[in-house]
Amino acid sequence: MRRCVIIGGADIGRYDRIRAYLRADDFYICCDSGLKHREGLGIAPDLIVGDFDSHTNPHLDTETIVLPCEKDDTDTVFAVKEALKRGFQDFLLIGVIGGRLDHTLGNVSLLLMLDTQGKHAAALDDYSEMEIVSSGPVRIEDRYPFFSLLNISGQARGITIQNAKFPLSNAEITCEYQYGISNEVLPGMTAEVSVGNGRLLLIKVLP
């Protein structure tokens, strides 16, 4: 099935870098001011959602869901829920990191929501790729200069890191002590990260 790419309104400075991750058959949802990225990304939205408080409704010949300004869900959260209703299994979130910290943290939590529902999801900005490590091991190629592991869900035990400068075995990272920042894959190797109980946010710094 096609991957769903959700585009938010946070600034993107490296369109060339982001475009390299896009696929010809992606399904694009633009969230309100995410519409400003159409030209830079070279895409046409398949679905537009938003309350249009930060971007004028362009009234394109594209399916558009107009939301009320006062609501529990942000436009991005609504877009994720709508994509889930439509059966998507694979998600890429772009334009969702940066600017307002409250929106950034809320959007990172969407990776947890999607992981809980058994979906594959990643977030991408100018500097990094983000995904959740939970039920299965995640591999990290040595092309990434650094990677970090953060506890954002309250519990992360039985953590193992192999083939990295700073390995771990059956370790714990707490929300209060985030010591898993700026690790490095050993040259010519592929690092592997797993967690026995709980979840971690993996941030891979782009070269």
Say if residues 128 and 157 touch (Cβ distance below 8 Å): no
Question: For position 59, what pLDDT does the model report?
Answer: 84
> Do the Cβ atoms of 31 and 49 come closer than 8 Å?
yes
pLDDT along the chain (207 residues), means of 10: 95 95 97 94 96 80 88 92 97 94 93 96 96 94 96 94 98 96 97 96 96
State whether residue 6 is helix, strand or coil: strand
Helix orientation angle between 75-85 and 101-116, rounded to the nearest 10 degrees = 20
Residue 69, pLDDT score: 80
| CA distances in angstroms from 72 to 35, 65, 69, 78, 156, listed in the order given | 22, 16, 10, 9, 29
**Domains detected in the chain:** 4-126 (3.40.50.10240), 133-205 (2.60.120.320)
Report the pLDDT value the prediction gives residue 203, as an integer from 0 to 100.
98
Per-residue confidence (pLDDT) for residue 152, from 0 to 100: 93
Report pTM: 0.92
Distance CA 86, CA 84 (A): 5
Helical segments of the chain, H only = 15-19, 38-41, 75-85, 101-116
Q: Measured between alpha carbons, how far is 88 from 4 in angstroms, rounded to an integer? A: 6
Is residue 104 a contact partner of residue 148, using CB atoms and an 8 Å limit?
Answer: no
| Closest among 57, 56, 49 to 27, alpha carbons compared | 49
